[in-house]
Chains A and B, each alone.
Chain A
Amino acid sequence: MTFEEAQKELEAIVHRLESGEAPLDEALKLWERGEELYRFCRGRLETAEGKIEELASRAEATKP
């Protein structure tokens, strides 16, 4: 799943929940899924390292 897909699904869940149309069982399932998506998105942001690399030096490094 991409960040974008996760964010989109999360926002759709919030929309559904805020509409107040979801029955309790569904609401709880949506909440669980939403939390999972939220954690996924946060995770994606936190694991990005901010690495700037040069392709040339990478190629050098991988040479035997």
Chain B
Amino acid sequence: MKVEAIEYGDRKVYSVGAFNRGVASWLQRLPTVWVEGEVTELRRSDRWASVFFTLKDPQDGSCLGVSIARGQFDALRLELSDGDRVHAYGRPELFEARGEFRLRALSLERFGLGDHLAALERLKAKLAAEGLFAAERKRPLPLLPTRIGLVTGNDAAAKRDVLTAVTTRFPPANVLVAETYVQGPRAAGAVVEALRALCREGVDVLVVARGGGSFEDLLPFSDERLVRAIAECPVPVVSAVGHEQDTPLCDLAADVRASTPSVAGRLVVPDLAQLLERLERSRAGLERGTRRSLDRERRRLDGTHERLARAPRLLLERRRAKLEQAGGRLRALSPRSTLERGYAIVRAGDEIVRSPQAVQPGDPVEVEVAEGSFGARVEERT
């Protein structure tokens, strides 16, 4: 639509009507969108062609006037009352007669907790199917982090709880804190940005801490962008969002879920006293073990030395034993032992008598027995 201006010299001036028509026609070019908010100040009259209400943003209180055709509104049978959450589908419009801007709704849907939950369940199923929550993705926390990154709201409680728990257990801990929005429409993006900024600064573990809140307060922590950012973090993430019974999706994507900010603080650092004790125990073991090894080697050396010293005597004894054995065998073979068993040697002259034919009756012979010898004479030959 062409909007005519009146010219006063070099100044172009529009009438109110023309201005409103111009803005209205420009607004008509904007797309039709869904807007979410809470219904307040609902005004309906059988005399009016439209029903009017105000949509309020529960996070920051922004307001938007809405109109919808009465017939359309009645047909929906929504029976809305103040505070009900709706999704309005429509486009911006200017009520030219009054210069009032509002949303001209074509349709309206009630959007309650149940819808939120259903949407959340759908997102959860989708991310789970992608494996974002899989147990094998979970990384162990470093035993001794060089620097801990903490994402928290500027409400002191969660931040203080984490820091107190960390420094009580491990006083020399280094912590880099990113304070950010943890509530409202900007929270999800802000937390993602804080996570990235901390990673760029260099941290080796991250804690996302937020105290308890209403279901809606915690919704940013189920935002797809935030959940993905946590799953994709280059370092392990501990999530401590809300209370035990809340399970925002970020808890599922994190490597470790802590029930409270204090628990998260205790999880990311070791107990310094215990750590020192364990280290000193190791050192004592190191000395003890080395000494044991030395002692054993010394004993072995001593044993070897002793055996070395014993070696010549052993050799001698072995020789002597051998000699005795030979002596025994020699004795066993000599005629003396035979004589000792009662045998006798008979000699005629220098010859040993082995046959009766070697002597004649009356011949003198010499008889040798074990203990000596005596002379004898042959009596007869058989």
Contact with A along B323-344 (1 / 0, CB 8 A): 0000000000000000000000
> Is A11 a contact of B282 with CB atoms below 8 Å?
yes
Partner of B174 from A18, A48, A54 at Cβ < 8 Å: A48
Partner-binding segment picked from B10-18, B129-137, B242-250, B293-301: B293-301
Tell yes or no: B286 within 8 A of A by CB. yes
B197 partner residues in chain A, CB cutoff 8 A? 55, 59
Contact with B along A23-43 (1 / 0, CB 8 A): 110011011001100100110
A56 partner residues in chain B, CB cutoff 8 A? 178-179
Partner of A55 from B178, B275, B276, B292 at Cβ < 8 Å: B178
Least CB distance from A43 to B in Å reads 11
A54 partner residues in chain B, CB cutoff 8 A? 176-179
> Which B165-201 residues have a C-beta within 8 angstroms of A?
167, 171-179, 194, 197-198, 201
How many angstroms from the CA of A16 to the CA of B275 in the assembled complex? 21
Partner of B286 from A10, A20, A51 at Cβ < 8 Å: A10
> Is A55 a contact of B198 with CB atoms below 8 Å?
yes
B276 partner residues in chain A, CB cutoff 8 A? 45
A4 partner residues in chain B, CB cutoff 8 A? 142-144
Partner of A24 from B272, B288, B293 at Cβ < 8 Å: B293
* Secondary structure dominating the interface of B: helix
> Is B201 a contact of A58 with CB atoms below 8 Å?
yes
Chain B, Cβ-Cβ closest to A47: B172
> Is A49 a contact of B144 with CB atoms below 8 Å?
no
Count of chain B residues with a beta carbon within 8 Å of a chain A beta carbon: 37
> Is A18 a contact of B292 with CB atoms below 8 Å?
yes
> Is B172 a contact of A38 with CB atoms below 8 Å?
no
Contacts known (A49-B172, A58-B176); A34 close to B292, Cβ less than 8 A: no
How many angstroms from the CA of A45 to the CA of B279 in the assembled complex? 11
> Is B163 a contact of A52 with CB atoms below 8 Å?
yes
> Is B174 a contact of A51 with CB atoms below 8 Å?
yes
Least CB distance from B274 to A in Å reads 12
Partner of A7 from B143, B179, B286 at Cβ < 8 Å: B143
B176 partner residues in chain A, CB cutoff 8 A? 53-55, 58
Tell yes or no: B285 within 8 A of A by CB. yes
> Is A53 a contact of B175 with CB atoms below 8 Å?
yes
B305 partner residues in chain A, CB cutoff 8 A? none
> Is B142 a contact of A27 with CB atoms below 8 Å?
no
> Is B143 a contact of A17 with CB atoms below 8 Å?
no
Contacts known (A4-B142, A4-B144, A55-B201); A42 close to B279, Cβ less than 8 A: yes
Tell yes or no: B319 within 8 A of A by CB. no
Partner of A10 from B163, B173, B201, B282 at Cβ < 8 Å: B282
**26 contacting pairs across A/B (C-beta < 8 A):** A2-B142, A3-B144, A4-B142, A10-B279, A10-B286, A17-B288, A17-B292, A20-B289, A24-B293, A24-B297, A27-B290, A42-B279, A45-B172, A45-B272, A45-B279, A49-B174, A50-B167, A51-B175, A52-B177, A54-B176, A54-B177, A55-B178, A55-B179, A56-B179, A58-B176, A58-B201
Apart from A20-B289, A34-B283, A58-B201, list 11 A-B contacts with CB within 8 A. Answer: A3-B143, A10-B279, A18-B292, A27-B293, A31-B289, A34-B282, A35-B283, A48-B146, A50-B172, A52-B167, A53-B174
